Amino acid sequence: MIYLNNAATNFPKPIRVVEAVRSLLDQPPYHHARAGFQRGSDDAVTECRRLLCELFHADDPNRILFSAGATASLNLIINGLCLRGRHVVTTAMEHNSVLRPLKTLERRGALEVSIVDCDSLGAVCPEDIAKAIRPDTAAVIVNHCSNVTGAVNDLAAIGEIVGGTDSLFVVDASQSAGMETIDVKTMRIDALAFTGHKALFGLQGIGGMYLSERFRPPPLIVGGTGVRSENLYQPDELPLLYEAGTQNIVGIVSLLEGVRFIRDRGLAALREQRLRATEAIRAHLTRRRGVRLYPPRNAPPTALFSFNIDGIAPEDLGYILEHSFDICTRSGLHCAPLIHRCMGSYPAGSVRVSPSCFTTDDEIAAFGRAIDAICASLWKKT
């Protein structure tokens, strides 16, 4: 199987991630907060928090909070916005992990949502964000990197705009964490949601968020923390406030090794490998007639993209790639319906191609041959 669906979940994992998880499962479980030096006080949980803090250029590792993933983080963040204002600005690039919590709150009358369209290259124009902000805007929520087109928003420019207002700047970094440079300080980000199983190389079920000093939403889940057990209320300190219940240690260990892998290999180098693979695949498609690319041919290089071929539904194209050619892509709306309206690919969606830093030239060539065979059969009109 040629795996080109890394925007869903990264595969393969770096060997060190697999080995770390295997090694953890061979040991008796221990609670990191209760373990002494014999178990290593510089435990995986603390170390993972510290490395993520470094990766996002944050000041305080305790502002890195673990969750079940970006959706869990975004639900906590978005539900906490109601206390700050009545209006939220977001974009047509968003995933349903942003849109559905917002629309659910809007339906309840708790919030009003303004949605900014993306431009012809698939990104959002910062000036359009500025125009949408109102005096009662609680937050601006922006996807850093589209999971459909790979287009990357200019967070520094948007952060500059939002930072000059009373609104919070919330970023969904599901695709970009581990691939794009994120500096929560200079980008003036108040809340950053990330998942562990994409460009951070961890397992499904682990993710987290960064919260700035300006934003302290109420926790969605309270309960045991393993410490401060005499207190009948959730401890107010970070990270305990947001980490009730048994931690996903297996997930955190996988994430720790994933972030170490990025640190050792270099974020820029890994990103370059993905861009190179994506561009090689795009270049092949560009030469074929009847192929529509998202973002279009004149867009800057991206780490993933989508496409359609005239005369075949994306769901069939994805099915053929998987079942006839053993190539795993993803077809449909990719849980981001609004961007397809901007691109003209609604309601059928598109086929998404998302290689990884491990994608080989042979795999790219095999994808090209598969597309050639599909196009040849289509034009032959059976």
Partner 1 sequence: MKVIDVKHVEDCFDGSMIKELLLDSEISKEFVFAMGAGGQVQFFADFPRPFFKVRMENLYDLKGIANQRTMRVHLKSVKLFALDDLRKKIESLRL
One symbol per residue from 259 to 298: x for binding partner 1 (CB under 8 A), - otherwise; what is it?
A: ----------------------------------------
- Give min distance, CB of 107 to partner 1, in A: 17
Q: Kindly state the greatest CA–CA separation across the chain.
A: 74
How many C-beta neighbours within 10 Å does residue 373 have?
13
Stretch 320-349: interaction string toward partner 1, x if CB under 8 A: x--xxx------------------------
List helix spans (H) across 227-327: 249-265, 267-286, 314-325
Touching partner 1, residues 342-381 (CB under 8 A)? 373-374, 376-377
Of 218, 133, 126, 206, which is closest to residue 167 (Cα–Cα)? 133
Instruction: Identify which of residues 23 and 324 has a Cβ nearer to partner 1 in the complex.
Output: 324
Dist CA 95 CA 116 (whole Å): 14
Nearer to partner 1 among residue 1 and residue 376 (C-beta): 376
Cβ neighbours, 10 Å, residue 368: 17
- Annotate 78-101 with b (16+ C-beta within 10 A) or e (fewer): bbbbbebbebbbbbbbbbbbbbbb
The contact mask relative to partner 1 for 177-196 (x = CB under 8 A, - = no) is --------------------
Q: Which is nearer to partner 1, 11 or 319 (CB)?
A: 319
CB-nearer residue toward partner 1: 41 or 377: 377
Is 187 or 374 the residue whose CB approaches partner 1 more closely? 374
Beta carbon of residue 323, minimum distance to partner 1 (angstroms, whole number): 5
- By beta-carbon proximity to partner 1, the closer residue of 214 and 369 is 369
Report the amino acid identity of residue 332: G
Distance separating alpha carbons of residues 177 and 193, to the nearest angstrom? 9
Contact 143, 122 (CB under 8 A): no
Q: Which positions from 220 through 249 interact with partner 1, judged by CB under 8 A?
A: none
Distance of CA 63 to the CA centre of its chain: 19
Q: How far is the CB of 326 from partner 1 (least distance, A)?
A: 8
Measured distance CA(45)–CA(261) in Å, rounded? 16
In one letter, which amino acid is 139? A
C-alpha distances (whole Å) from 327 to each of 196, 323, 330, 368 are 24, 8, 10, 11
Smallest gap from residue 196 Cβ to partner 1 (A): 27
Rule CB under 8 A: which of 150-169 touch partner 1? none
CA 176/CA 200 separation, integer angstroms: 9
Binding mask 39-78 for partner 1 (x = CB under 8 A): ----------------------------------------
CA distance 334 to 343: 13
Parallel, antiparallel, or unpaired: how do β-strands 305-309 and 350-353 relate? antiparallel
∠ Cα 169 175 180 (to 5°): 75
d(CA 377, CA 374): 5
Q: Work out whether 112 is an interface residue with partner 1 (CB under 8 A).
A: no
Per-residue contact string for residues 301-320; x = within reach of partner 1 by CB under 8 A: ---------------x--xx
Q: Smallest distance from the beta carbon of 348 to partner 1, in angstroms?
A: 13
Which residue, 360 or 377, has its beta carbon nearer to partner 1? 377
CB closer to partner 1 out of 263 and 369: 369
For partner 1, the closer of residues 18 and 378 by Cβ is 378
# residues contacting partner 1 (CB under 8 A): 11
Smallest gap from residue 377 Cβ to partner 1 (A): 5
Show the tokens assigned to 180.
């794009």
Q: How far is the CB of 98 from partner 1 (least distance, A)?
A: 20
CA distance 73 to 354: 24
Alpha carbons 143 and 355: distance in angstroms, whole number: 20
Closest separation in Å from C-beta 168 to partner 1: 33
Pick the closer one to partner 1 by CB: 121 or 370: 370
Minimum distance between the CB of residue 332 and partner 1, rounded to whole angstroms? 10
Binding site for partner 1 (CB under 8 A): 316, 319-320, 323-325, 373-374, 376-377, 382
